[in-house]
Amino acid sequence: MDSLLKLDRCTIRFGGLTAVANFTMEVGRRELVGLIGPNGAGKTTVFNMVTGVYAPTEGHVLLGGEPLDGLKPYAITGKGIARTFQNVRLFISLSVLDNVKAAFNLHLKHGPMHALTRGRAFLNEEHEIENRTLELLKIFNLDRHRDAMCRSLPYGDQRRLEIVRALATQPKLLLLDEPAAGMNPTEKSNLMRLIEFVQETFDISVLLVEHDMRVVMGICKRIYVLDHGIKIAEGTPEEIRRDPKVIEAYLGEGPGEKE
């Protein structure tokens, strides 16, 4: 596996509480990897470590071999990691178009001074960004909503928009935080197709945190399982399905979770 992201024995402690302990994980180039575990297992905390919201107390996060230690979130995005959020966090006062355009800020060649002089080069770049945004929206069937306020979109469309926005940062790795939350079975199937489509078309790696087993088992090539901050299993979907430790961790959750 050509490794892209590596978490090397990462531990994170908040005060007296150890949220994640000694966690090692790898995501290869063009791989679709899943991270699952019961509620409170520490999945979102792992995400936050990768994206720089929290710094690991011990251990390192490496992207393409390069450590991301101490980098602020916006810098990590600059290195090629983008994410979506558990509760969709779109820019509520902006339109659909502007939400995606905002993500192009990262690779902007022109700064505030150019915005004031409004020269040829500046206008050209603005034009180009507009075109690329529309292209992206079109791929995901959101271009007809381009000027609508993003908050007026139905929930499923908002989630899609968030993914589009993340893709606009031109990432090498996309982190999806429970994208299927709140969706009905049809929507979930569509989402699964969408994620696979994204991974192939944009030639990127995807790390998926998800509760719904069907979704995870359906599209991920490899899966990591977290419980109370500790890795209890890793492997292919078939291996995970049969792993007694995983079954035990989820049995405590109640009926319906194992599939």
Where does this chain bind other proteins (CB under 8 A)? 14, 44, 48, 51, 53, 72-75, 77-78, 82-83, 85, 89-94, 98, 101-106, 108, 110-112, 114-120, 122-123, 125-126, 129, 151, 165-166, 168-169
To the nearest whole angstrom, how small is the minimum distance from the Cβ of residue 247 to other proteins? 30
Nearest to 221 by CA among 188, 196, 190: 196
Residue 203's nearest CA partner among 223, 161, 174 is: 174
Alpha carbons 101 and 83: distance in angstroms, whole number: 16
Listed in sequence order, the residues at least 6 apart from 228 whose beta carbon sits closer than 8 Å to its beta carbon are 40, 41, 42
The answer to whether residues 18 and 41 touch, using CB atoms and an 8 Å cutoff, is no
Nearer to other proteins, 73 or 218 (CB): 73
Shorter beta-carbon distance to other proteins: residue 22 or 44: 44
Cβ proximity of 124 and 109 under 8 Å: no
**Alpha helix (H) ranges present in 83-119?**
96-102, 112-117
Q: How far is the CB of 67 from other proteins (least distance, A)?
A: 19
CB nearer to other proteins: pick between 123 and 251: 123
**Minimum distance of other proteins from residue 259's CB (angstroms):** 29
Q: Which is nearer to other proteins, 51 or 222 (CB)?
A: 51
Q: How far is the CB of 214 from other proteins (least distance, A)?
A: 27
Cβ contact 259:213 at 8 Å:
yes
- Asked whether 103 and 134 are in contact (CB, 8 A), the reply is no
| Cβ nearer to other proteins, comparing 118 with 242 | 118
CB of 222: closest distance to other proteins in angstroms? 24
Residue tagged 């302990």 (tokens):
21
Which token pair is 23?
């966690």
Nearer to other proteins, 114 or 146 (CB): 114
Between residues 25 and 168, which has the closer beta carbon with respect to other proteins? Answer: 168
For residue 223, the minimal CB distance to other proteins (Å) is: 23
Place of tokens 């901050």: 229
Residue that is written with structure tokens 């994640």 in the block:
20
Residue 250 Rama label (left phi>0; alpha psi -120 to 50; beta): alpha
Which DSSP state fits 6?
E
Report the nearest approach of other proteins to the CB of residue 202 (Å): 16
